[in-house]
Amino acid sequence: MPLLELQFATARLGQQYFGPFNIAIGAGERIAILGPSGAGKSTLLKLMARELRPQSGALQFDGRPLAHWSLGELALRRAVLPQSANVAFGLLSELVIGLGRVVRLADPQLDHIVREAAALAHATHLLGRTLDTMSGGEQARVQLARIFAQMWDSENGLILVDEPLAALDPGLQFDLLESLDSFARERGHAVVAILHDINHALLGFERLLLVRSGQLTDDIASNAQALPALEKLYGIALTTATNADGDVCVIPARGGSGSKGLRKPRRYAASAA
């Protein structure tokens, strides 16, 4: 039984229609949603999160209609990290992280979980500070820690994140993707993430949902065979390379199809000043 299933689900925002989406997400899967700006990625994620009511079709979560779950029940099994979180800007970071656990009436491990979640999100040094003193990247780490705290003692749940890496430097992006992956694997959580970086999707996720003009154009494995579909999706050429671990990496470029099979990355010697 899928953990989350969309059956001919559609949505309408103004004059634009989205769907129908037919998607099944299994427990423990890693799925990246990719597509051009304005393609409907966030709309699809909002349908999955029940933040947007479908105009038609059905959504099932763990065998029950998604609409039949109470918010309290969902909070124990599903966490959502939107592009921007509406919290009081002057709140202390530990209070923001602790908001992930408000549905629990008794929570004797709250302080411990907040600290552990902050450490996992590389945000320990941000405890004791308010959000209005932080950069966008620091706020993003606190919000991710909130998601960790919410799902800390749950199993076989669902984590939905919208551009979680947008305000972070490259090194921290990889660190937090690894934290998210290890956190989810230990608990059996599925992860669905909207991403803009194709390499993050290829390296950290098993499956790609490609969205364009409000439609799901492809639902494919995250490997080298996905490159022609990615080139078509973005209208770019993708030159391929392999890293030291044998993983596929891509270099985007303007122009026609640039995927000619796997290539070894070129090495450039530093020139003397």
For the stretch 5-20, pLDDT in tens is 999 999 999 889 999 9
Mean pLDDT for the stretch of residues 35-62: 95
**With 0-12 CB in 10 A as exposed, 13-18 as middle and 19+ as buried, what is 254?**
exposed
The least confident of 83-97, 176-190, 205-219, 254-268 is 254-268
Which band of pLDDT confidence, cut at 50, 70 and 90, is reported for residue 191? Answer: very high
pLDDT category at 86 given cuts 50, 70, 90 is low
pLDDT at 167: 72
Is residue 86 located within the same domain as residue 198? yes
| Pair 109, 211 in one domain | yes
Identity of the amino acid at 258: G
Cα–Cα–Cα angle for 71, 43, 72, rounded to 5 degrees: 5
pLDDT in tens, 138-180: 999 999 999 999 999 999 999 999 988 777 888 888 899 999 9
Given a contact cutoff of 8 angstroms between Cβ atoms, the answer to whether 169 and 139 are in contact is no
**Residues 6+ positions from 206 with CB-CB distance below 8 Å:** 29, 30, 31, 221, 222
Please give the residue that has the higher pLDDT: either 80 or 85.
Answer: 80
Q: Which residue has the higher pLDDT, 256 or 219?
A: 219
Mean pLDDT to the nearest integer, 192-217: 95
Half-sphere CA count of 142, side-chain side, radius 13 A = 29
- Measured between alpha carbons, how far is 202 from 221 in angstroms, rounded to an integer? 9
Number of domain units in the chain: 2
- Same domain membership, residue 214 and residue 135: yes
Q: If we measure between CA atoms, which residue out of 13, 32, 80, 94 comes closest to residue 226?
A: 32
Structural domain span for residue 170:
4-222
Same structural domain for residues 127 and 156?
A: yes
In angstroms, the CA 36 to CA 236 distance is 11
Same domain, 131 and 174: yes
130 within domain boundaries: yes
Can you tell me the distance from the alpha carbon of 43 to that of 32, in angstroms, rounded to the nearest whole number?
A: 14
pLDDT band at 256 (very low <50, low <70, confident <90, very high): low
How confident is the model over 123-150, as a mean pLDDT? 94
Q: How confident is the model at residue 1 (pLDDT cuts 50, 70, 90)?
A: confident
87 and 43 assigned to the same domain: yes
**Among the ranges 68-82, 237-251, 257-271, which has the highest mean pLDDT value?**
68-82
Q: Tell me which residue has tokens 């001919």.
A: 8
88: tokens are: 């009081």
Q: Looking at 91-100, 142-151, 188-197, 245-254, which range is the least confident one?
A: 245-254
Domain of 30, CATH number, reads 3.40.50.300
62 and 197: one domain? yes
The answer to whether residues 170 and 273 belong to one domain is no
pTM of the model: 0.89
Closest CA to 242 of 260, 263, 221, 267: 263
